[in-house]
Amino acid sequence: MERESYPSDLADERWALVEPMITAWKRERVARSATGDPGGCDLRDVVNAIFYQNRTGCQWRYLPHDLPARSAVFYYFTLWREDGLDQQIQELLRCQVREKARRLEDPSLVVIDTQSVRAAAGVPKATTGLDANKRTPGRKRGLAVDVLGLIIGVVVLAASAHDNAAGRALLDQAAERCGHRLEKALVNQGFKDEVVIHGAMLDITVDVVRRNPADQGKGFVPQPKRWVVEQVNGTLMLHRRLAREYDHRPDNAASRIYWASTANMARRLTTPAPAWRDDFVAAA
């Protein structure tokens, strides 16, 4: 008897986007295995369990009993992170979304920003810190996104780390994944000359976008092009597991972001967009 699906489950058309990469990974893994045993766990249900936990924010032991055992889900979650499969799937879907928007696979411009997120109780102090500027204890997430809001790079550091550390790591990731096509990166005033110099070494022009003095005292005012990274952060927060830092390891926290991005892009690729939106994206 089939279980009743959860809203976070992958529909057939969305699973079809992800399944070839997972099947190829499984085939390679079996070939490298000493026993050649492919295992009996349904990997589609494992992905559904990761999406369920991401979306609801539940603890591992609170995963529903009709999903795979938490030990199996954690095993594959860790294995896919170590093998880079989470990033590979996210990269493949990113290219497909850009192609659907009639753009080249890799962007020429990225937007970089950081966000400090409080850590939950039990997260090791060795991987967290205090963001003195924002008075937030926890971790600092850095994102590099294109103008469509698609994630190019992710870094998770202690909140006490300077934005420059995140900026350098994100520029390295963006340069590696976008190649010579990447020409420019936009950052806010929290990033200093160190990031600008690091970008120059990678042949990337880093523009520091400064607030308009006329906007002082008005609170949050969207800045052209830079606003998209704020929108991405807001979209990620719909996945409750990302509302706080629950993972003990920063690389697990980064993997959560890749899986959340995968869920969002699978939805974008399989949900028809209104005609006005297609025209707007083509003109942007």
Is 224's pLDDT higher than 80? Answer: no
User: How confident is the model at residue 30, as a pLDDT?
Assistant: 81
Mean pLDDT, range 13-35, rounded to an integer: 88
275 has pLDDT over 70: no
Identify the pLDDT of residue 100.
Answer: 93
The string of pLDDT tens digits covering residues 42-62 is: 999 999 999 999 999 999 999
Q: Residue 255: which of 23, 90, 73, 8 has the closest Cα? A: 90
Q: What is the pLDDT of residue 96?
A: 96
Kindly tell me if the per-residue pLDDT of 284 is higher than 50: no
For the segment 167-174, the average pLDDT, to the nearest whole number, is: 97
Q: Is 204 a residue whose pLDDT tops 70?
A: yes
Does residue 36 have a pLDDT over 80?
A: no
pLDDT of 238 higher than 60: yes
> What's the predicted TM-score (pTM) here?
0.89
Domains of the chain, CATH where assigned = 12-83 (no CATH), 105-212+220-239 (3.30.420.10)
Whole-number pLDDT of residue 39: 66
pLDDT number for residue 210: 79
- The answer to whether residue 222 scores a pLDDT higher than 70 is no
129 CB neighbour count, 10 Å cutoff? 19
